[in-house]
Chain A
Amino acid sequence: MLAHLEKYFRTERLPHIWCPGCANGIIVKSLVEAIDKAGLDQDKTVIVSGIGCSSRAPGYLNFNTLHTTHGRAIAFATGVKLANPELNVIVVTGDGDGTSIGGNHLIHGARRNIDLTVLLFNNSIYGMTGGQYSPMSPQGAKATTSPYGNIERPFDICNLVTASGASYVARGNSYHTSQLTNLIYQGLQNKGFSFIEAISTCPVYFGRKNKLGRPADMLKMQKEFCISKEAAEKMSAEEKAGKVITGVLHYAELPEYTEQYQKIVDKCQRR
């Protein structure tokens, strides 16, 4: 990690602002390892985020970074990519930022299959603003805005993004770190809209409200409730009850947006 730290982090800004035991730092480490594995040029890589605890990540990363407005990271990233298609554009977002206020940008980015890699930190809550429930909080979960338990059903965001037209969709978690690194790496390789849901933790709000124990207990829970797609295929419906499936959930070769756009430009210029 030391070598990566000096190369990819703005180390003078560390330690980061995240609370003790918040898994965001673990996920950022996987992101950096995936970028290293893919060999991306730091000067040709842009990391864009919205607003939230998770969206603070680019501030610590030694790339071209853009901290935008709440929910709008994909909109800004779309502009960056269309203006300079040769750049690698990565979006960091949260479950609130990406699926609530930014939900429309997410589905339309996926529908266009624009070449972005979107990493969504899912901690099941709005951490930054004090623990309100999000569209991805589980039914029954306690939050400051659902003191008696959440009556809403959460999105299966991977299904939603798949149905919206993305070419690569995967889910990982902050316990199985090498799997997560690999899933992000594959997303970076895909030329099209790549979406990775990374299950994170918010020990301070989600954890305390729902009595989930210490940060380490929350990580151990992920180890228990997450099963790989390959393992799930061999399990009965009963065994799979209550489990969350991880791995590459969807892949399809589809036309990429900036390439399609360039074809129109070329055609018009030939006239």
Chain B
Amino acid sequence: MSMNAVKEQLEPVVVNLAWCKGCGICYSLCPTKVLSSNELGKSIVSEPNKCTRCKICENHCPDYAITVMGVKK
């Protein structure tokens, strides 16, 4: 496995907290509860190993703050 592949396994979803407005869409829609909210309501990746890379979060984030790694667009 390349370093990138290892990183993608550990970190399937990346949240850009500078752009996240804490709207709750991603962690409400995530079917496997990978995402949850921090004390500001912003999105955090709490259960990365449960991610199926379905991209529901990325597709519905209105602020382009979520990227699901390692899937073709």
Contact = CB atoms under 8 A, between A and B. Distances in A.
A1 B73 CA distance: 7
Contact of B62 (A9, A26, A175, A220): A26
Interface stretch (A17-25, A106-114, A225-233, A261-269): A17-25
A15 B73 contact: no
A237 interface: no
Interface residues of A, number: 30
Contacts of A26: 59-62
A216 interface: yes
A20 B64 contact: no
A14 B23 contact: no
B23 A215 contact: yes
* Chain B interface mostly: loop
A241 B3 CA distance: 54
Interface residues of B, number: 19
B28 A214 contact: yes
Given A1-B67, A214-B28, A219-B29, A175 B23 contact: no
A235 interface: no
A128 to B, nearest CB: 16
Q: Which 9 residue pairs spanning A and B have beta carbons closest together? A: A25-B62, A21-B23, A216-B28, A20-B21, A20-B23, A15-B19, A216-B25, A177-B59, A215-B23
Given A3-B73, A15-B19, A15-B65, 19 more contacts: A1-B67, A1-B73, A14-B64, A16-B63, A18-B62, A20-B23, A21-B25, A22-B62, A25-B61, A25-B62, A26-B62, A174-B60, A175-B60, A177-B59, A214-B24, A215-B23, A216-B28, A219-B25, A219-B60
16 contacts: A1-B58, A2-B67, A5-B64, A14-B63, A15-B19, A15-B63, A20-B23, A21-B25, A26-B59, A29-B59, A175-B60, A177-B59, A203-B23, A214-B23, A214-B24, A219-B25
Interface of A: 1-5, 9, 14-16, 18-26, 29, 174-175, 177-178, 203, 214-217, 219-220
Interface of B: 18-19, 21-25, 28-29, 58-65, 67, 73
